[in-house]
Structure 1
Amino acid sequence: MFHILEREMQWRRENGRPEGFGSLRAHRPILAVGAEDPLEDQKMLADYFHGTDGLGGIHATHPHLTATKAYEHLFTPTLTSEGIEPAADCTGPDDHAFISSKLPAHKEILRALRDNEPDSITLVAVGPLTNLALAAAEDPETFLRVKEVVVMGGAINQAGNVTPMGEFNAYADAVAAARIFALTSPNPHTTVPFTKSDKLPPYPAKLSRQLTLRLFPLDITLRHNLSKGQFRKEIAPLLEGGSPLAEWVDAFMGHTFKTLERLHPGHAGDDAELSLHDPVCVWYAITSEDPKWVYAANSPEDIRIETLGQWTRGMCVVDRRSRHRIEGDEESASDHGLWLSGRAGNRIWRMDGSPAEGNFGDIIIKRVFG
């Protein structure tokens, strides 16, 4: 992606167009390598939808769009007298549009939170929550310096997209999701999951604060779409002009729309719509002050992630009973699981409406291509 962005900026300069990407130049993002596997269970891939390279196989079909030089060495840990070198600031003739970190992703998260003021960093999680769970387990107090965690994941009143109950991100590492959700509770021990391996330690009995978590389940992300017709109309003139970014995006989006049509035969041609699950979370982080962002009526909700169910792993469990609250945090005969205790349970802010609903496809095209 960064290889293509660098080519795009060069193409724009050579064609007298505004280069754009000012923030990318001013504040180069730090890239770090994440966890190889989930905390428990078998690794799950979405290659049936995204291709084995995550981009519809375009490294094979469009090799001219692939970076010709190796980048792996930039992320190889370097031991110094003070331990592992955290980040290699790439400068000079081999300058890139990013800074490579020698630290694993969860340690890079902790470093960023430690080096900045509390409540100044938002974490946007658009995949399984493994790296966040590793960071929170290693140093929960540093992790809780985060302003908020924005999570794309789960399904409340919608069916799952990998099982009848499970959305991919929650399903792929249900234990990690459950552990992160538990940090929103006044007493995380009341909702932290039982695990098979005890790979991560329990949280301390007392923490200085609760995590603020904004959840974007399928219920809201499925309402933010881009149609094939919209995309084709906007990208055509850019392709004619020779934009490397347009060619790259068109290549993997072409695969995506074909996959959509194969999985959903009733949605074909220009009316086929791609749900923009992850981008809507990033859009929230950019525009969170907009009063048109709407929470679910009963937020914050006690939403927990099922980790042990044979058929329900990754399910978002919500208590829909009309029951009186119970004082105290001891489990009673009428409150199995501490669902009714005022001092137990998670506190999840579930997003249910946005300022971009209905025209988000247009917004994202303009944000990407300028």
Structure 2
Amino acid sequence: MRERIIIDTDPGQDDAVAILLALASPEIEVLGITCVAGNVPLALTTRNARMVCELAGRPDLRVVAGCDRPMRRPLVTAEHVHGKTGLDGADLPDPVMPLHPGHAVDFLIETLRTEPPGSVTLVPIGPLTNIGTALERAPDIAARIKRVVLMGGAYFEVGNITPAAEFNIFVDPEAAALVFGAGVPLVVVPLDVTHKALTTPPRIAAFRALGTPVGEAVAGWTDFFERFDMAKYGSEGAPLHDPCTIAWILRPDLFTGREINVEIETGGRFTSGMTVADWWRVTDRAANALFLGDVDADGFYALVTERLARL
């Protein structure tokens, strides 16, 4: 059976690659793409998601605009990483396909109430505002979600936007706390994993060697995206964060992790947005997430390249 998913996203170059990976994989059925403000404001994330769908030849997909700011605090964006458009690095035409009518929160609630219980996986790869708002407004949907596979948080790697916090969780920790506290099966892909899935010149060259518009766009995005991280971390490339969620759905054997308790810090003076991951199980708090810790990076990039070749 195909994995039926809704991608909740704030594209972002790595978000774009995650969407393309999902659309290139016959094991996955994308029911819709819900957009949230995060890497760039909502007007750009909705534009970018539609551009990616059209690049993939899927203008039929439902792309729905969601929350334009976090639940309880002002929006923080990341143009310093992703460029002013969020998809700097590839010159794509403006989208022609329209947005699906309505609001992403309503789309999430209605879809989860309509589809059979336990049949839909949510894949949030941006701030958790849309999903947190949906759970707050309609708590009954929690029992209907198959699982949530999210990119966010960290343990050993700690923070990339503050010393303690990863960007997606930091932008809306109140929404993240709702998601982590909802009793939904969670798979967390943190910085600890994504910082091991680095772009390298040969890996980017493999994207470009596909000789397709998709390959050229992904090579351009990763060329642009890696400059910031290489300067920041002194690494050989940039972590390709968000496609790791889709890769886990396709090939969980590429990853390792453990079931632990993860709490979200919402009020810390220096630690707001921190994922307090009990990796060593030093508390008696019950596990609420499969928290990944490692990835076969070569296997991951081989999978991404092979699938993108299909588009």
TM-score, reference length from structure 1: 0.64
Q: Number of aligned pairs?
A: 262
- TM-superposed CA distance for 1:315, in Å, is 0.9
Question: In the alignment, which residue of structure 2 is the partner of 1:21?
Answer: none
User: Residue 148 of structure 1 contacts residue 213 of structure 1 at CA under 8 Å; is this kept in 2?
Assistant: yes
Report SS of the residue matched to 2:68.
Answer: coil
Structure 1: gaps spanning 5 or more residues: 10-23, 76-100, 185-210, 324-338
User: Residue 127 of structure 1 contacts residue 152 of structure 1 at CA under 8 Å; is this kept in 2?
Assistant: yes
Question: In the alignment, which residue of structure 2 is the partner of 1:362?
Answer: 302
- Counting aligned pairs with the same residue, the percent is 27
Report SS of the residue matched to 1:274.
Answer: coil
Indicate how the Cα distance of structure 1 residues 213 and 256 shifts in structure 2: closer, same or farther if over 3 A, else same.
Answer: same
Aligned mates of 1:322, 1:259 — CA distance in 2: 34
Cα offsets for 1:99-118 (capped at 9, x unmatched)? xx212111111111111111
Report SS of the residue matched to 1:178.
Answer: helix
- Matching of residue 276 in structure 1 with residue 240 in structure 2: yes
Report SS of the residue matched to 2:268.
Answer: coil
The counterpart of 1:349, out of the listed 264, 285, 290, is 290
Aligned mates of 1:8, 1:155 — CA distance in 2: 31
Q: CA RMSD in A?
A: 2.7
Question: In the alignment, which residue of structure 2 is the partner of 1:178?
Answer: 177
User: Residue 182 of structure 1 contacts residue 346 of structure 1 at CA under 8 Å; is this kept in 2?
Assistant: no
Cα offsets for 1:287-307 (capped at 9, x unmatched)? 35x5x64332xx2x2211100
Report SS of the residue matched to 2:168.
Answer: helix
TM-score, reference length from structure 2: 0.75
Letter in 1 for 2:299: N
Indicate how the Cα distance of structure 1 residues 182 and 159 shifts in structure 2: closer, same or farther if over 3 A, else same.
Answer: same
Question: In the alignment, which residue of structure 1 is the partner of 2:156?
Answer: 157
Question: In the alignment, which residue of structure 1 is the partner of 2:226?
Answer: 257
Aligned mates of 2:78, 2:88 — CA distance in 1: 11
Matches within 5 A, 1:1-370: 2-3=50-51, 6=54, 28-56=60-88, 58=90, 62=91, 65-67=92-94, 69=96, 71=97, 74-75=98-99, 101-184=100-183, 211-236=184-209, 238=211, 243-264=212-233, 266-267=234-235, 272-288=236-252, 290=253, 293-296=255-258, 299=259, 301-318=260-277, 340=284, 347-354=288-295, 356-370=296-310
User: Residue 225 of structure 1 contacts residue 361 of structure 1 at CA under 8 Å; is this kept in 2?
Assistant: no
User: Residue 207 of structure 2 contacts residue 218 of structure 2 at CA under 8 Å; is this kept in 1?
Assistant: no
Indicate how the Cα distance of structure 1 residues 103 and 5 shifts in structure 2: closer, same or farther if over 3 A, else same.
Answer: closer
Cα offsets for 1:136-186 (capped at 9, x unmatched)? 0111112320100111111112221111110001111011101111112xx
User: Residue 110 of structure 1 contacts residue 143 of structure 1 at CA under 8 Å; is this kept in 2?
Assistant: no
Aligned mates of 1:302, 1:7 — CA distance in 2: 39
User: Residue 199 of structure 2 contacts residue 222 of structure 2 at CA under 8 Å; is this kept in 1?
Assistant: no
- TM-superposed CA distance for 1:361, in Å, is 1.8
Aligned mates of 1:47, 1:353 — CA distance in 2: 28
Report SS of the residue matched to 1:143.
Answer: helix
Report SS of the residue matched to 1:42.
Answer: coil
Normalized per residue, which structure has more strand?
2
Letter in 2 for 1:285: I
Indicate how the Cα distance of structure 1 residues 154 and 3 shifts in structure 2: closer, same or farther if over 3 A, else same.
Answer: closer
User: Residue 33 of structure 1 contacts residue 104 of structure 1 at CA under 8 Å; is this kept in 2?
Assistant: yes
Structure 2: gaps spanning 5 or more residues: 1-48
Letter in 2 for 1:286: L
Report SS of the residue matched to 1:367.
Answer: helix
